[in-house]
Chain A
Amino acid sequence: MSEPTVVLGAGAPARVRRSRLIDRGFRGTTLVVGLGLIALLALLLVELTTGAWRTFDRFGLHFFVGTSWNPVAGREAFGALPFIFGSLVTSGVAIVIGVPIAVGLALLLNQVRGAIANPLAVFVDILAAIPSVVYGLWALFVLKPILDSSVEPFLIGTLGKVPAIGAVFHGKAQGPDLFTAGVILAIMILPIVTAVSREVIAVVPRDLREAALALGATRYESVRLAVLPYARSGIVGASMLGLGRALGETIAVSLVVGNTPRIGWSLMDPGATIPSWIASSFREATSVGLHRSALLALAVTLVVMAFILALLSRLLVRRTAELVSGPSANVPVTQGVLPTAG
């Protein structure tokens, strides 16, 4: 172009003035949209909290530690602990089962390319597109019978007999339980955890992998020595995303978990999670009495848990990222996850 690209002062030609105007307009639009998003979130929180206020006012902090849930007028009691318990346990099972599989898949997709890897990658991505109600139905009609007839009896018969941890696998295989909900959640978080892990593993510098290989590391050892430590912060971040998804999942869990507010050791017993309980009882909840307000209070609890989780994951990711890039580098999370390869 023959025109000067930088023009200072008032004598700027019309084209430059126009593009400056567009610039300003663009900035204004993005600012409004950004602020709008924050406002929306604030509004949501305010709405939820005002709706839940009557419950908090009546039960105070006892709402979070109370274990009984009774919407019958006159004998009302609302405690969120069984649902917090159910949410944490099912999500925990999902993470314990899902993350190792996802990381393994991510490694496979990165290291072994070609004939198997590409269709597998597409398959994992398709898993993400399946609606959760379909997962729920599949879990109810296919997964649950399989778990009930083989996996759960096996766990009860083996791990269930081990002293300390036996209580976790105690009980009967039949019927809805926390374990089945955890397994379906593990499958549901697989795509997101795999996709993010795959990306962070892909940016591990070639240098490091080769350093390990040149020392005489086998393929597995090079992964353990060079790839996993470097990608750790990213994998933690990926797991947190998965955990977030697992905590919020409603319908699929609701179909298999039993929706029984209960706190106990065994994974083989039914339970209820916050979302599953809200979904299953909102229709009966009237604005008369505290029932509807109590469900909104449960929702607030879930939002708070999600916030704590997000905060925790930022801390964790930053802490592990520091190990890689040095403590002085106060880098944003994304840069910590993807260190610059010069």
Chain B
Amino acid sequence: MRKVETVDLDAWFGSNHVLHDVSLTARPGSVTAIIGPSGCGKSTLIRCLNRMHEEVRGARVEGKVLFDGTDIYGTDVDPVAVRRRIGMVFQRPNPFPTMSILDNATAGLRLSGERIPRSKLTERGERALRAAGLWDEVKDRLDEPGGRLSGGQQQRLCIARALAVEPEVILLDEPASALDPASTLRIEELVGDLKERYTIVIVTHNMQQAARVSDWTLFMLFGEVVEFGPTEKVFTTPDDKRTEDYVTGRFG
């Protein structure tokens, strides 16, 4: 079973060729980690998976990204529709500062065109906040602005916001790198809970984190895939010498 699959994916920023022939497979019910040193193209790769890459001026993609077998870069595919089914959480928590906690959680729902009654909206917001493990902390102050939460809570609010639109895939771009260790742990536990229902791809520069949360690991260097396989194998008996050097901390 393959939920998301890239085939010979190349990406550019202007004339800067940042991804070379990347092939990645993400399976449902599993977590796929993308690791590698800074600037190796991890974030670019994950941003290609829901067509966020093209939002940067001069950015360009070649190759295919198959989602349930359909190329999301096909000519008749609407990026807006793609992003509704492939959600994303960013490195820095970015709740909408002028919206309340509940409004943040339901922001994506209120976009979707169909009119959802208020009560239904609240219900789905609560469900998303519960799924993100935030409900108990915010249930008494749903009307407060989202920006008033702590960094870790804000990040879980962003996860709730992504979950509320009921995507099938969740992309996490270094979701814990701006957080303290305790909040990081909570996010990691959450990733473990969520993988039963979603296909998860996570970018991280923290190798322990990749080892802890992921089932599959893709190691990149200079925009190329060095090794892709089950996390345990990549971290214990990698095929490539460079992978071994990296995961044992000899460089990076």
Known: A216-B83, A217-B111, A323-B145. A211 touches B94 (CB 8 A): yes
Name A's interface SS.
helix
The size of the chain A interface, using a CB distance under 8 A, is: 24
From A218, which residue of chain B is reached at the shortest CB distance?
B80
| Alpha-carbon separation in the docked complex, A229 to B147 (Å) | 14
**Once bound together, how far apart are the Cα atoms of A326 and B95, in whole Å?**
13
A207 within 8 A of B: yes
With A214-B162, A215-B165, A216-B83 in contact, is A324–B98 under 8 Å at CB?
yes
What 0/1 readout, one digit per residue, does chain A (106-146) give for beta carbons within 8 Å of chain B? Answer: 00000001000000000000000000000000000000000
The answer to whether the Cβ of A232 comes within 8 Å of any Cβ in the partner chain is yes
0/1 string, B117-128, CB within 8 A of A gives 1: 000000000000
The answer to whether A216 touches B108 (Cβ under 8 A) is: yes
A 41-62 to B, binary, CB cutoff 8 A, 1 in contact else 0: 0000000000000000000000
Is B97 part of the contact surface with A, judged by Cβ < 8 Å? yes
Q: Is B84 an interface residue (CB 8 A)?
A: yes
Asked if B161 CB lies within 8 Å of chain A CBs, one says yes
Interface contact B108-A215, CB-CB below 8 Å:
yes
CB-based contact B98/A211 at 8 Å: no
Residues of B within 8 A of A207 (CB): 90, 92, 94
Q: Assess whether B52 is interfacial by the CB under 8 Å rule.
A: yes
Per-residue CB contact flags for chain A residues 189-220 toward chain B (1 = under 8 Å, else 0) read 00000000000000001011111111111100
The answer to whether B52 and A214 touch across the interface, beta carbons within 8 angstroms, is yes
B57 at the interface (CB under 8 A from A): yes
Q: State whether B96 touches A326 (Cβ < 8 A).
A: no
Collect the chain A residues with CB atoms within 8 Å of residue B111's CB.
Answer: 215-217, 221, 225
Q: How far is the CB of A131 from chain B (nearest CB, A)?
A: 37
- A209 vs B94: C-alpha distance when bound (angstroms): 10
B108 touching A208, Cβ below 8 Å: no
Q: Are A210 and B145 within 8 A (Cβ)?
A: no
A215–B161 contact, CB under 8 A? yes
13 A-B residue pairs with Cβ-Cβ distance under 8 Å, sorted by A, are A205-B94, A207-B94, A211-B95, A211-B96, A211-B161, A214-B162, A215-B87, A215-B162, A215-B165, A216-B81, A225-B96, A229-B98, A324-B147
